[in-house]
Amino acid sequence: MSDGPADARRPHLPQQVAIEAYGSGGFRFAGMSHRGSILALPSGLYTWDITTAEGLCEADFAELFRETACIDVLLIGTGRQTVPIPEALRWQFRDRRIQADAMLTGHAVRTYNVLIAENRRVAGAFVAVE
């Protein structure tokens, strides 16, 4: 892994785009689809090896933390149930001046789409839902 943006060798879409659809265990964006969770960062959309929001920790956001300078708001889609951000992780976001909000994945995706349409400095961490 490099100290720069998320690893370019990892399969990803190298641009920030709206999420067209979610459900059935994945997401659709830019005319493509991905089964599983995703990280939507300023540098692009990446696979995210998370299946549940329970127990999220700093290591789960390592790629996002490499792009801290480009992010003001992080929307965490926690699946079909809202899961609070653990206090230790919340402090990691605060220390990096990132406003992090956890909500249902559907709400997070819709809010993310509005914010990128407004050219806001936003990132998303979306747990896939069936």
pLDDT (tens digit, 9 = 90+) per residue, 34-83?
999 999 999 999 999 999 999 999 999 999 999 999 999 999 999 999 99
Walk me through the domains of the chain, giving residue ranges and CATH numbers. 12-126 (3.40.1230.10)
> Taking the model in full, what pTM does it have?
0.90
Q: Could you report the per-residue pLDDT of 87-125, keeping only the tens digit for each? A: 999 999 999 999 999 999 999 999 999 999 999 999 999
65, burial (CB in 10 Å: exposed 0-12, middle 13-18, buried 19+): middle
Q: Could you report the per-residue pLDDT of 2-35, keeping only the tens digit for each? A: 334 444 445 577 889 999 999 999 999 999 999 9
- Among residues 126, 100, 106, the alpha carbon closest in space to that of 45 is found at 126
119, burial (CB in 10 Å: exposed 0-12, middle 13-18, buried 19+): exposed
